[in-house]
Amino acid sequence: MGVENFDNRITKLNDAHLDTAFRPEANVGRWPCRVLLGHMADAEMVWNHRMRRAVGELNPVFALWDENAFIDAGIYGTPETGPKYPIGAFVASIHTGRKWTAGWLETLTDDQWRRAGMHPDRGAITVRTMLELTTWHLEHHAWYFNLKVARLLGSAQAS
């Protein structure tokens, strides 16, 4: 459920790989793999909660979250000072959250799919649009993650 988009060599990444940051000219995104995976896990929780609020509450107002503040606070671990949070927890959180949410989304009525909440930047946003955004978000970051893995471990061998 989403994690199948990750390069299956994810388990081959050691702490040095996971904490390697990239320069902009590498064109693979700047965040280290550990940070990127933690960010994806947090984003999944945020979007899942927003969808549930839109169905459960009348016109909820969503808060923004500062992804860079999470990184700066060391929520995903910091290479210099530690701790080095295990990425398995991030991946499991993404998989479990998607599995749980997918089962719930299958139960929604047409009216519930059209329910909306107020996003500070996007305005009124429906459950359907939130699902589209969270799907795109994970696929977008998985693409960058896979580029990073290829840089760190080399090109994947064809099966």
- pLDDT category of residue 157 using cuts at 50, 70 and 90: low
User: Minimum mean pLDDT among 1-5, 56-60, 137-141, 144-148: which range?
Assistant: 1-5
Sign of CA dihedral 104, 109, 110, 111: negative
Residue 158 pLDDT greater than 70, yes or no: no
Distance from C-alpha of 47 to C-alpha of 143, rounded to nearest angstrom: 19
Range of the domain at 64: 3-19+28-153
Would you state the pLDDT for residue 109?
98
Tell me whether residue 158 is in a domain.
Answer: no
Q: What pTM did the predictor assign?
A: 0.92
Residue 48 forms part of a structural domain:
yes
Residue 116 lies in a domain: yes
Please report, rounded to a whole number, the percentage of residues in the chain having pLDDT higher than 70. Answer: 94
The whole-number pLDDT of residue 81 equals 66
State the average pLDDT for the chain: 92
Q: What is the mean pLDDT of residues 46-74?
A: 95
Work out the widest C-alpha separation in the chain, in whole angstroms.
Answer: 51
In one letter, which amino acid is 3? V
Segment among 84-88, 103-107, 130-134 with least mean pLDDT: 84-88
Give the sign of the dihedral formed by CA 80, CA 84, CA 90, CA 91. Answer: positive
In a domain, 134, yes or no: yes
- Which of left, alpha, beta for 44 (phi over 0: left; psi -120 to 50: alpha)? alpha
Q: What percent of the chain has pLDDT over 90?
A: 81
Does the pLDDT value for residue 40 go beyond 80?
A: yes
3-state SS track over 53-118: HHHHCCCCECCCCCHHHHHHCCCCCCCCCCCCCCHHHHHHHHHHHHHHHHHHHCCCCHHHHHCEEE
In a domain, 121, yes or no: yes
159 within some domain: no
The CATH number given to whatever domain includes residue 52 is: 1.20.120.450
How many domains, in total, are found in the chain?
A: 1
**Is 135 within a domain?**
yes
SS3 138: helix
Name which residue leads in pLDDT, 101 or 83: 101
